[in-house]
Amino acid sequence: MTTRELATLIWLLIGSLACLAVRDIRGSIVNVLKLMFQRKIFTALALYGALLFGLTWLVAQFGYWDSSLIGAVGFWFLFTGFKSFLQSADTGSKDGFFRERAVELVGLAAFFEFFLNIRTFSLPVEFFLQLVLAFLFLMRTVSKTKEELKSVSRLLGSLLALAILWLVVATIDNLVDHRSDIEVHDVIALYLVPIWLTVGSLPYIYLLSLYGGYESVMVRMRASEDPPVSWRAKLGVMVGLKGNLRQIHDFVGVWSRRAGVTGSFSGARRIVKEFKEARS
């Protein structure tokens, strides 16, 4: 674990303890944990964790992961992987979700983050630096919401830009001073961490979204006063929608009800075909 990851972990622990000290927030955290331990969610999360463990083991067999990257994997799960898991139900609400995730891996922001993490500073510097950056970012975010604080927002934006510029210059200087300590293989391994984790986990996120989407469609196919929907109609809808998350998400209202009352495979597929034609 790098000093930056350790400093982040310390700040997260401090923030968690501060939240637990507030009764209302503590109660909300308990409710969230109870929700996470429901059988369906817990099983899906456990399978997700098992997949990531398997991916890590596989990459380690090729020599591109070791214990020094535990922090990188852990923070990827905390800030990216877990977020994708929680948002899996909404994946079908917009086009290009998976394409966006793939583009992010090779974007400028991803490279910039990787560059800054090649070599970090001492723990005290990292600890203080994160405090300053977080303070400037939060204050600027708040000031941007108020018209009378526009000048303050611009000042904070300038200070934030200067802090990031210093970080870039100091990182370059740090890399030059310790260039003999840098192993190319280790740098490549660090760069690949978010790539293989994201690429390897996206199929699982898709399956979660697909399961949740079809489950929602099946519920909407029947009103409370209707008889149970036949499995043939359900199968017809599933085959007709062909795993398209956006279409599954939009197959609501009269469309899902009409497919449910047909009671047949061909009838449900006909409704899905009409739905697609109406969208085109």
Question: What secondary structure does DSSP assign to 188-202, as a single string?
Answer: HHHHHHHHHHHHHHH
CB 18 within 8 Å of CB 84: no
H helices, E strands: number in the chain: 14, 0
> Which amino acid, residue 170?
A
Residue with tokens 């941007």: 144
Tell me 77's DSSP state.
I
What is residue 254's predicted lDDT score, i.e. its pLDDT? Answer: 86
- What is the pLDDT, as a whole number, of residue 189? 92
Q: In terms of DSSP H, where are the helices of 144-253? A: 150-177, 184-220, 231-241, 245-250
Q: What sign has the CA pseudo-torsion 160, 164, 167, 169?
A: negative
pTM: 0.81
Q: Using 50 as the pLDDT threshold, list the residues of the chain that sit under it.
A: none
What lies within 8 Å, CB to CB, of 240 at 6+ separation is: 268, 269, 271, 272, 273
How does 187-215 read in b/e, with b if 16+ C-beta sit within 10 Å? Answer: eebbbbbbebbbebbeebbbebbbebbbe
Query: What does the block give as tokens for 107?
Result: 């974007």
